[in-house]
Amino acid sequence: MTRLPSNIGFQDIRAAVLSALLPGLGQITQDRRRQAFTYVAITLLLIALSLGLGHFSGRAAEVFFFMLLALPWWAIQSYDAYLGPSGSSSDLRRTWRAVWTQGHDIRFLGALFLLSALNDSFIILMNPEYLLPFFCTKPGGILGLLTKALSPVLHTMVGYGFLQLRRWALFLYLLYAAYGLTNATVNLTCFGPGRVRNTLLITLAGFTAYILWRRRCFHPHHAR
């Protein structure tokens, strides 16, 4: 049996880190210059589209586009650097196949949920006077604190479960989605349309459709 050099793993990890810092940089160290330039061009295009969307639609749309398109692409090209050159097929096709079959897209969504939990917690701590709309009410006191804390707690639990591809995370997310869609729809009828409320409805509906499509990733053998 042919033994691989002992430093292959270290080189792959180093390339992944370099591409995470600067798209395409890891591929250059692997002498994959054509792929590196392609990945840099795609990254710049997605960032430009994100900035352009933010110019016309506001900062929220810019961040939303970056998180759902530019940032996943950034992660995929870094993972491509980790996998190294492909000897049998297109590097990008090989990388996407690995992402798809191993459920890394769901893990990425889990990371976004954890990031959202941190963001929600920061907003709550920095704006303690803000009253979160809850089924056409804006409760204060202990009840108001509990309703505000519900979001980061659920985001943390779903995020962890998605990172581990746990089956219970799928059911927990569906409960969270049902609560979020119902609450946002009821608040829409009471308080009218708003940028944050509209974005929440569209994002949650899109996330739910995608997660249901990818529900086979939450296989029983991942449950523990």
Q: State how many domains the chain has.
A: 2
Using one digit for the tens of pLDDT, what is the confidence trace for 114-162? 988 898 888 778 877 776 777 677 767 777 677 778 888 999 999 999 9
| Shared domain check, 213 and 114 | yes
| Shared domain check, 91 and 36 | yes
pLDDT of residue 4: 38
Residue 6, pLDDT above cutoff 50: no
Residue 2, pLDDT above cutoff 60: no
* Listed residues 34, 69, 101: the one ending a domain: 101
Confidence of residue 194 (pLDDT cuts 50, 70, 90): low
Of the candidates 69, 95, 67, the residue with the CA atom closest to the CA atom of residue 81: 95
pLDDT of residue 92: 87
pLDDT average, residue stretch 49-76: 79
| Phi, psi (degrees; rounded to nearest 5) at 130 | -70, 135
- Find the domain containing 40 and state its range: 8-101
Of the candidates 33, 29, 23, the residue with the CA atom closest to the CA atom of residue 71: 23
